[in-house]
Amino acid sequence: MSAPSWILLVAYLVVLLLLSWPLGIFLQRVADGDLPRWLRPLQGLESLLYRAAGVDSSHGMAWRQYAVGLLAFNVLGLVVTYALQRTQALLPLNPQGMAAVSPDSAFNTAVAFVTNTDWQGYAGEGTMSYLTQMLALTVQNFFSAATGIVVVIALIRGFVARSAGSLGNFWVDVTRTTLYVLLPLSMLFAVVLVQQGTPQNLSPYAIVDTLDVTAWQQPKIGPDGQPLQDAAGKPVLEGMQTRQQILAMGPVASQEAIKMLGTNGGGFFNANSAHPYENPTPLANVLQMLAIFLIPAALVFMFGRMVGDRRQGLAVLAAMTVMFVLATSVVTVQEQQGNPLIASLGADQTASTLQSGGNMEGKEARFGIAASSLFAAVTTAASCGAVNAMHDSFTPLGGAVPLVLMQLGEVVFGGVGSGLYTMLIFAILAVFVAGLMIGRTPEYLGKKIEIHEMKMTSIAILVTPVLVLAGTAIAVLADAGKAGIANPGAHGFSEILYAFTSAGNNNGSAFAGLSANTPFYNALLALVMWFGRFGVIVPVLAIAGSLAAKKRIPVSAGTLPTHGALFVGLLIGTVLLVGLLNYVPALALGPVVEHFMLWHAK
């Protein structure tokens, strides 16, 4: 890795820790209902809302009640997001006159945004009205983030509680998270993004007169709306030219801010954070990467404070950081090395003071290799899925790292809330494995881990690999699945594997060559996203409920300490072993084969 790449990575981590540590303190106070004084004015609004909703904010919920409230809230989100897309042509704030989204695409998109996946089968600037972007997609960016955060808060309460029946109140948790955490941070970040150049308006698209003429050829369309074909069956091309460019506009910054802070990742435009309006400058890019990890890292600090032992949080943070640095260095080295086939054609891929060099296909000049590689690692380590470069055009191993980071279960910082609750599930598994080795009853944070918890842990850990591998298998067997492939050979398989990995782990990034906006992929990926989200959340809440009911046992000589280097190693080992082994055969068929073909294609 080059010096600028290392400087970027180290500076990024230092600033991240400096920002997330105080935020973690704040999150703990919000979670415990101990609000700082300057937030008191907003509390009037909060209690007004509870009165209107008939919520008794002091009423604690058992885990089933908590889960039912959470599911109802998310199902309603699904219905509303679908309905808004289907009726957008009749609604206001639609200056470009966007038509209703097709039923299968609208369903897929609704599931994608409710589950915090934000998989995009559509191109934003050609599909969604401003109202849909705001009231359907931006809202779900907030709600899905809040959902993840409240689940991890409930799980931590399960560890902290002593023989209690309640995990807290879902309505209170979701309201406070949105009102006191997500909204103020988004407001601040959105304005910073506008300063950097991200548009924020409700105007129609701007038409500009370009300096040079653009000429191109496109298939001629016959009177029946189908492309015309000549006698040989080839499409008839017609020459076109224009001196105009139409620039897509919209309330971009407000959506961009929560897209990052909530690890959602659904872009306003098709090119996502590669689009110069979404991510205008190298500084904006660094801020976006910080925004992705900010809350996941702060939640780890919050966790340490809530369980009353900050070292527990630091141990988890250390495990995450080690895996993250390893992953980033592999992507950066691979992408900087470039593509041997392109080098052999006479292109110069060497890094210098005049160019970033490396594998620049599908990357933006202002980000180059270092900031594109770091972004790719950040966005897939967290379940964000925003992209500032096209992962489909990465080198085989450079593209394998995002794939692997998702397959680990999105626990390397991970999604807001979901990253930490999944990591804590891995921690439970790690102490269970250690308990078997030393012949003790496993315990974590003073709670005995018994049969019921291990059953639920197994479900939570196995549900995603099953969905991902079964989905991939169905798609490579079905003609409708194979029809979507864009690149030949092993890479085509990787495109499908990536799509299901991304959906099952609620990431949302893609090997975007895959044509996934078809009824087949829209339906299958929607199912994988839904069960990949709630198939984990429900068992996690069940674990929280059963832990809450247990006594806290004091630390004894037989307790395995869960804050030292030994535990960090054990945790990393468990994540790698369980997370990765499931996928080794699939990875061998995709990126690994492609790597050897690329470097030995002489």
Partner 1 sequence: MKGLIRPVLVVFLALSVLTGIAYPLLVTLVARVAFPVQAAGSLLMRGGKPVGSTLIGQNFSDPKYFWGRPSATSPQPYNALNSGGSNLGPLNPALAEAVRARIEVLRAADPANAAPVPVDLVTASASGLDPHLSIAGARFQVARVARVRGLPADQVQRLVDRTAQPRQPGLPGEPTVNVLLLNLALDEAAMPQR
Of the pair 8, 538, the CB lying nearest partner 1 is at: 8
Of the pair 122, 159, the CB lying nearest partner 1 is at: 122
**Contacts of 155 by beta carbon, 8 Å cutoff, 6+ apart:** 421, 424, 540, 541, 543, 544, 547
Of the pair 178, 562, the CB lying nearest partner 1 is at: 178
Give the amino acid at 304.
G
What is the per-residue burial (b if ≥16 Cβ within 10 Å, else e) of 301-339?
A: bbbbbbbebeebbebbbbbbbebbeebbbbbbbbbbbbb
- Angle between helix 282-306 and helix 139-160 axes, rounded to 10 deg: 30
- In the complex, what is the shortest distance from the CB of residue 295 to partner 1, in angstroms, rounded to a whole number? 16
Of the pair 9, 503, the CB lying nearest partner 1 is at: 9
- In the complex, what is the shortest distance from the CB of residue 178 to partner 1, in angstroms, rounded to a whole number? 5
HSE of 370, CA atoms in CB hemisphere, 13 A: 19
Report DSSP letters for 278-305, one per residue.
TS-SHHHHHHHHHHHHHHHHHHHHHHHH
- In the complex, what is the shortest distance from the CB of residue 68 to partner 1, in angstroms, rounded to a whole number? 7
- In the complex, what is the shortest distance from the CB of residue 226 to partner 1, in angstroms, rounded to a whole number? 16
Distance separating alpha carbons of residues 476 and 472, to the nearest angstrom: 6
- In the complex, what is the shortest distance from the CB of residue 218 to partner 1, in angstroms, rounded to a whole number? 4
Distance separating alpha carbons of residues 136 and 141, to the nearest angstrom: 9
Of the pair 392, 443, the CB lying nearest partner 1 is at: 392
Of the pair 73, 520, the CB lying nearest partner 1 is at: 73
The closest of 113, 8, 55 to 371, measured between CA atoms, is: 8
Of the pair 36, 489, the CB lying nearest partner 1 is at: 489
CB 307, CB 445: distance < 8 Å: yes
Of the pair 139, 454, the CB lying nearest partner 1 is at: 139
Distance separating alpha carbons of residues 479 and 227, to the nearest angstrom: 23
- In the complex, what is the shortest distance from the CB of residue 263 to partner 1, in angstroms, rounded to a whole number? 16
- In the complex, what is the shortest distance from the CB of residue 355 to partner 1, in angstroms, rounded to a whole number? 4
**Contacts of 219 by beta carbon, 8 Å cutoff, 6+ apart:** 227, 228, 235, 236, 237, 238
Question: Chain centroid to CA 564: how far?
Answer: 29
Long-range contacts of 496-499 (CB under 8 A, 24+ apart): 496/472, 497/403, 497/468, 497/472, 497/586, 497/590, 498/391, 498/399, 498/402, 498/403, 499/475, 499/525
Name residue 449's beta-bridge partners. none
Give the amino acid at 572.
I
Of the pair 111, 316, the CB lying nearest partner 1 is at: 111
Phi, psi of 242 (to 5 degrees): -150, 155
- In the complex, what is the shortest distance from the CB of residue 566 to partner 1, in angstroms, rounded to a whole number? 37
- In the complex, what is the shortest distance from the CB of residue 109 to partner 1, in angstroms, rounded to a whole number? 15
Phi, psi of 428 (to 5 degrees): -60, -45
The closest of 511, 529, 521, 323 to 418, measured between CA atoms, is: 529
Of the pair 230, 348, the CB lying nearest partner 1 is at: 348
Helix (H, G, I), strand (E, B) or coil at 350: coil
- In the complex, what is the shortest distance from the CB of residue 569 to partner 1, in angstroms, rounded to a whole number? 33
413: tokens are 């910082």
Phi, psi of 217 (to 5 degrees): -120, 140
Distance separating alpha carbons of residues 485 and 493, to the nearest angstrom: 8
- In the complex, what is the shortest distance from the CB of residue 301 to partner 1, in angstroms, rounded to a whole number? 25
What is the per-residue burial (b if ≥16 Cβ within 10 Å, else e) of 96-134?
A: bebeebbebbbbbbbbbbbbbbbbbbbebbebbbbbbbb
Residue carrying structure tokens 């908590």: 66
Distance separating alpha carbons of residues 333 and 373, to the nearest angstrom: 9
- In the complex, what is the shortest distance from the CB of residue 3 to partner 1, in angstroms, rounded to a whole number? 10
Of the pair 221, 553, the CB lying nearest partner 1 is at: 221
Of the pair 209, 224, the CB lying nearest partner 1 is at: 209
- In the complex, what is the shortest distance from the CB of residue 238 to partner 1, in angstroms, rounded to a whole number? 10
How many Cβ atoms are within 10 Å of 395's Cβ, its own excluded?
24
Of the pair 118, 125, the CB lying nearest partner 1 is at: 125
74: tokens are 């998310």
Of the pair 281, 321, the CB lying nearest partner 1 is at: 281
- In the complex, what is the shortest distance from the CB of residue 523 to partner 1, in angstroms, rounded to a whole number? 23
234 DSSP assignment: P
How many Cβ atoms are within 10 Å of 78's Cβ, its own excluded?
18
Torsion (CA) 42, 44, 49, 55 in degrees, nearest 10: 120
- In the complex, what is the shortest distance from the CB of residue 111 to partner 1, in angstroms, rounded to a whole number? 17
Of the pair 269, 426, the CB lying nearest partner 1 is at: 269
